[in-house]
Amino acid sequence: MRGALFDGLPVGTRAGWGLQAQNSTGRQPMSVWNRVRSFKGFDLGRRFYYLWCGESLAIIGTVLTEFALGVWVYTTTGSALAFANVVLSATLPAVVFLPLAGGLADRVSHRLIIVCCDVLLALLLAGVIGLLWFERLEPMHLYIFNCMASIVSAFRTPAYQASVSALVRPEKYTQASGFISITKNASSLVAPLLAGMIMAKAGLVSVLMVDLITFCTGTVLVVKALSHMPWVQRAPAAGKNGEGQEAVLQGALNNVKAGLRFFVANHVMACLLFYAVLRNAMLSMVTLMMAPLLLSTLGSDSLGIAYTWAALGGLLGAGLLVFAGNQRRLMVMAAGADLLLSVCVIGLGMASELVAYCAIAFCAIMVASIADAGVNALWMSRIPAGNRASVFALISMLTIAGSSLAIVGGGVLVDHWFQPALSVDGAYAGSIGVWLGVGQGRGVGLLFVITGMGVAMLALGALVYGPMRRLEGARSEETQDKVDETEPVRAL
């Protein structure tokens, strides 16, 4: 596919320079694009870079808006519960619609789904801008906006994930995951600072306008990346009773069954699903609890510093993946990185100085980026092409549900058990408190230590269990047909 994009085009023309004269050695000068492709890890195809740049712009704009609206809600209401409701309204509705969205994305053009969803998201954002402009915006409006945006994003996410798998060769999945991780960490590093500057100078409306502009620009790049795809994709041939149409219209239940059948047919992939959902749940809880841990011990200034170092670590980890080339022992790489991550999480629970928090957070997010990329590359390598969107949707649904339960459970444990037990006169003050200390924030520290031990046990289990340990990415000489040799699972 990648070579076909450039057939019949002179090198200079592809770069936009016009035809170039040959140099004294008789060789054609390399275009900028070919120079980029010559670097190890960068030869992912022009369409992938259009898609990546478009998504990067959209993600940066989204993080800008999330940060700015979070600040607005908290400063307007002064309620932590209102802030939590905004977060939950942006995540939980997707759980209900993801299975249906995955089944739809397996039968409808990814290009059409992404464009329709982007138009709806842009209209929703324009509505929020209008309410804010006329000073009518209230927290309830944001709950509704987040719920609707979450539902639309639920249909968009599986289509985007399946598009990445289709655009990149199997042996380049690790590098593609590295680029995606770069966007994630760079947005976490830059967007909050940029949002704060824009809000201070021009207000919340300006932040939302920047988000709308970046979002629309990103959509144009995504459409260009997927321009080879038809606007309308023919659904699977219907049987005498219209089975193909019923599979699309019957709803979420049948699509959940289609995704589950893939895991029932392959117990090793079911183990990988368990591994991925459990590690994401524990790490989501740790990430959210990082804020109260630092705020209760060192203050608000330390939180921004620690987050900055964590994002820098994530960028380094993603950069290492891009330059590392094709990695076959993906499960060993992911489990080994998670084992190091568990040590970092335990260290965060026991640390008490800002320097220690920053250093450990840097290392933690660096190895977490490597582990995430390994697991994502395994999914892209092992899921049959015909059911990628359905299976990705099921994975996302279980991940969101597991993370939400872990976050709620972690908060309950800290507030009602760990923190009272590690108070000055608490039940654990004379035992665990000797190692972790007592007072504010130590309950969260104990949660970190227990979670780190859980991550370590999970990673060791993956390394000890032979079938999981031997999970590998696609070899460079394997074709896409080899990767997709498993027969796609049809929805009932």
Question: Has residue 319 got a pLDDT over 70?
Answer: yes
CA distance 156 to 105: 8
Same domain, 106 and 174: yes
Which residue segment(s) compose the domain that 329 sits in?
251-474
Confidence of residue 245 (pLDDT cuts 50, 70, 90): very low
Same domain, 160 and 116: yes
Q: Report pLDDT for 300.
A: 61
Question: Has residue 342 got a pLDDT over 80?
Answer: yes
Contacts of residues 473-476 at CB distance under 8 Å and 24 or more positions apart, as own/partner, are 473/170, 473/171, 473/173, 473/174, 473/326, 473/327, 473/328, 473/330, 473/377, 473/378, 473/381, 474/170, 474/171, 474/173, 474/381, 475/171, 475/328, 476/171, 476/326
Identify which of 55, 85, 90, 433 has the alpha carbon closest to the alpha carbon of residue 221: 55
What's the pTM?
Answer: 0.68
Specify the range with the lowest mean pLDDT, choosing from 232-241, 414-423, 446-455.
232-241
Confidence of residue 233 (pLDDT cuts 50, 70, 90): low
Q: Report pLDDT for 326.
A: 63
Number of domains, the chain: 2
Structure-model confidence comparison of residues 189 and 115, the more confident one: 115
Structure-model confidence comparison of residues 324 and 131, the more confident one: 131
Question: Has residue 274 got a pLDDT over 70?
Answer: yes
CATH number of the domain enclosing 438: 1.20.1250.20
Structure-model confidence comparison of residues 171 and 53, the more confident one: 53
Question: Has residue 459 got a pLDDT over 90?
Answer: yes
Same domain, 255 and 363: yes
Confidence of residue 464 (pLDDT cuts 50, 70, 90): very high
CA 388 centroid distance within chain: 16
Amino acid at 357: Y
Predicted confidence (pLDDT) per residue in 102-146, tens digit: 777 777 778 888 888 888 988 999 999 999 888 888 888 888 988
* 282 inside domain: yes
Q: Report pLDDT for 356.
A: 92
Q: Mean pLDDT over all residues of the chain?
A: 76
Predicted confidence (pLDDT) per residue in 102-111, tens digit: 777 777 778 8
Amino acid at 110: H
Same domain, 259 and 210: no
Q: How many percent of the chain have pLDDT more than 70?
A: 77
Same domain, 287 and 141: no
* 120 inside domain: yes
Same domain, 72 and 214: yes
Predicted confidence (pLDDT) per residue in 299-313, tens digit: 666 777 887 888 888
Question: Has residue 187 got a pLDDT over 90?
Answer: no
Same domain, 177 and 53: yes
Same domain, 271 and 215: no
* 353 inside domain: yes
Predicted confidence (pLDDT) per residue in 255-265, tens digit: 667 677 888 88
Identify which of 446, 448, 447, 456 has the alpha carbon closest to the alpha carbon of residue 342: 456
* 421 inside domain: yes
Q: Report pLDDT for 478.
A: 40
Backbone angles phi, psi at 116, to 5 degrees: -60, -45
- Top mean pLDDT of 63-67, 158-162, 420-424 is at 420-424
What integer is the mean pLDDT of 430-459? Answer: 88
Identify which of 59, 52, 58 has the alpha carbon closest to the alpha carbon of residue 168: 52
Cα Rg of the chain (Å, integer): 24
